[in-house]
């Protein structure tokens, strides 16, 4: 689908029908076709010629009793079912709201409508490719348990998404045939089943139909074998929780297993299609059996992970052996979760350096997220696609990690942060006494 088609659909369906309607109005809010399965009004016909450029919309006509639209381009029509012919609609023409009665007809020679509907929080993103946007990634997103050494975040996934997180990463474990999000050991931190976590994401997507979310699954059990010597957990094991959680209809299946930056669709195209989740797995992929769960390292590379080096180099860490030329054609993630090394007896441990979060997640200075983002942009000719951070709510000011991403995207960050739209994760007690020794024994591998 062409970008101009996206602009038409956004300018018409988003700007024309979904803006400025408050909760007291009898007008049903109309949104993108296919992006929310709970809609009561939907587009019933859309026919767009392959050579359509969208330039005729401003001189077309709009009949509100129907509702039908003609753009003036041949074979280009859109009709929409409506429960009322008297509802007031707001049409944006050149960015200026114009209120029309639901039974009126209007002919306009004004400029093309401006899209004011944000996609992933910014109207500018609607026509950008998925591969041309920098998003903040919540490292170990499910692990938001207070006073637990295995935690990496302060708020649960719903709050994370409300605040602007658009990539969710986490480590999964097989527990008697059921996948859980656990950190190193489920005795240390068990954040619940993968199915329940995916259900929370699904519920959020249903309530936020203009958002695209990336999920990166960390398969902790990738080296384990079953009784027949086969891998215990592969991407096939995730199909059941995906289906039961309701997430499946939202997952985008790319046309090929190894996507390059030019291959990705725009956010607008993903939203219009309803396929608004991009899913990766780090190990034991099976794209023949599960083609929608992409192998991370066919599509993305990472800078050094779990660093203690405050310089945060922008060099390629995983996967091994790819050339710079190949890397420039792939998505890439800047890992920016600073750890501190401590010694307890003969053990050398890596734990999150929470003391430095105001700098680590800040805009400027040695070790800052802003500095790494700028350095990677200089080194690779484009900003990172994902900025992986711990405790995204901490930084030089509220929302500083999102300010870094906004600067990389050349947009203005003006949202409220953090955790204000939903409750923080419940305060739970730490591991029980029998497992205190385990906490020390496994702490060195928490972030590996």
pLDDT at site 109? 58
pLDDT at site 97? 32
Please count the other Cβ atoms lying within 10 Å of the Cβ belonging to residue 173. 21
Tell me the angle at which helices 369-380 and 400-409 cross, rounded to the nearest 10 degrees.
20
Q: Is 202 left (phi over 0), alpha (psi -120 to 50) or beta?
A: alpha
If you ran DSSP here, which 8-state letter would residue 282 be given? S
Q: Which of 139, 173, 180, 336 is flagged as catalytic? A: 139
d(CA 25, CA 361): 42
CB 392 within 8 A of CB 136: yes
pLDDT at site 341? 77
pLDDT at site 101? 35
- Which two structure tokens, joined as six digits, stand for 390? 């711990």
Helix, strand or coil, per DSSP, at residue 216? strand
Find all residues with CB under 8 Å of 35, minimum gap 6, and list them. Answer: 209, 210, 271, 272, 273, 274, 276
d(CA 310, CA 338): 7
pLDDT at site 209? 97
pTM over 0.85: no
The closest of 339, 328, 312 to 404, measured between CA atoms, is 312
173 is catalytic: no
pLDDT at site 100? 35
Q: Which of 173, 180, 183, 336 is flagged as catalytic? A: 183
* All domains of the chain in start order, with CATH: 3-107 (no CATH), 123-445 (3.20.20.190)
180 is catalytic: no
Low-confidence ranges of the chain (pLDDT < 50): 1-107, 422-448
């Amino acid at each position: 689908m062409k970008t101009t088609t996206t602009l038409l659909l956004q300018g018409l369906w988003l700007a024309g029908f979904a803006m400025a309607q408050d909760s007291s109005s009898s007008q049903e809010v109309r949104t993108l076709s296919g992006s929310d399965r709970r809609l009561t009004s939907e587009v019933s016909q859309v026919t767009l010629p392959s050579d359509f450029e969208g330039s005729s919309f401003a001189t077309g006509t709009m009949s509100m009793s129907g509702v039908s639209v003609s753009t003036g381009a041949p074979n280009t029509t859109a009709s929409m079912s409506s429960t009322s012919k008297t509802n007031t609609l707001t049409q944006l023409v050149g960015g200026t709201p114009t209120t029309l009665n639901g039974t009126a007809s209007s002919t306009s020679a004004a400029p093309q409508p401006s899209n004011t509907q944000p996609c992933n929080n910014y109207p500018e993103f609607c026509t950008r490719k998925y591969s041309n946007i920098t998003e903040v990634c919540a490292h170990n997103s499910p692990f938001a348990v207070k006073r637990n050494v295995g935690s990496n975040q302060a708020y649960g996934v719903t709050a994370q998404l409300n605040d602007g997180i658009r990539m969710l990463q986490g480590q999964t474990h097989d527990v008697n045939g059921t996948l859980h999000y656990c950190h190193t050991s489920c005795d240390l931190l068990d954040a619940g089943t993968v199915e329940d976590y995916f259900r929370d994401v699904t519920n959020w997507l249903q309530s936020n139909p203009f958002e695209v979310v990336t999920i990166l699954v960390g398969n902790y059990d990738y080296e384990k074998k079953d009784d027949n010597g086969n891998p215990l957990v592969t991407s096939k094991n995730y199909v059941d929780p995906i289906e039961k959680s309701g997430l499946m209809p939202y997952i985008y299946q790319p046309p090929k297993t190894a996507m390059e930056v030019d291959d990705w669709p725009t956010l607008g195209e993903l939203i219009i299609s309803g396929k608004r989740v991009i899913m990766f797995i780090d190990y034991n992929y099976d794209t023949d059996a599960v083609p929608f769960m992409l192998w991370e390292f066919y599509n993305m590379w990472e800078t050094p992970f779990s660093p203690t080096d405050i310089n945060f180099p922008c060099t390629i860490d995983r996967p091994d052996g790819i050339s710079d030329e190949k890397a420039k054609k792939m998505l890439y993630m800047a890992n920016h979760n600073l750890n501190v090394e401590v010694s307890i007896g003969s053990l050398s441990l890596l734990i999150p350096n929470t003391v430095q979060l105001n700098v680590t997640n800040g805009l400027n200075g040695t070790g800052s997220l802003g500095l790494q983002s700028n350095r990677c942009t200089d080194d690779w000719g484009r900003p990172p696609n994902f900025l992986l951070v711990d405790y995204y709510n901490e930084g030089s000011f509220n929302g500083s990690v999102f300010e870094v991403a906004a600067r990389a995207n050349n947009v203005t960050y003006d949202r409220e942060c953090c955790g204000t739209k939903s409750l923080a994760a419940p305060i739970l007690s730490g591991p029980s006494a029998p497992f205190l020794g385990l906490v020390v024994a496994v702490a060195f591998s928490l972030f590996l």
